[in-house]
A and B are shown apart, each in its own frame.
Chain A
Amino acid sequence: DGGITQSPKYLFRKEGQNVTLSCEQNLNHDAMYWYRQDPGQGLRLIYYSQIVNDFQKGDIAEGYSVSREKKESFPLTVTSAQKNPTAFYLCASSIASITGNGYTFGSGTRLTVV
């Protein structure tokens, strides 16, 4: 089960806390992505990064932050500003954003606010 690893699988957060979700890939992919998956809404893009030290906001970036200090790693921080953070978070990577290749997805992190 290599390729792209997300941790932890389950995460519980108290109101007002920041939490960081880990995403690591050993596929030598340039591009990495964070999606949020909610029932009936499909996948919505939070942030993406096409190259190290660079990233862009997706459709629902408010309340989230990311960093891309290494090619292999793209952690996502869910801040206390995110109004409805309980969701399933998926990380993905691809060779490059311009080609027609598909994504490789991680197994996801389920975040619950308690």
Chain B
Amino acid sequence: EAQVTQNPRYLITVTGKKLTVTCSQNMNHEYMSWYRQDPGLGLRQIYYSMNVEVTDKGDVPEGYKVSRKEKRNFPLILESPSPNQTSLYFCASSPSSYEQYFGPGTRLTVT
């Protein structure tokens, strides 16, 4: 089954404790992105990747890092999480940079 998977689905952590949210797609898509979704602010793009080893900043990259060492994986790294990074995070992949296929989301709470 073609899909985008994210882990974990739910995470509660404390300020400053490094964490990684994994994202994997099995559709051989070149493009992948990370978004955060907050009430009243919609979906905002954090980082995106056009191919292996090629990444670029979205609209809200501060406090996040990404890497794309393999085509199928695009992990999101929070080196020192803060409470303002509490949000619902979505990973997406795309064959063309247009239509995107989203994962199920990761709900992160930073206390």
Asked if A and B are interacting partners, one says no
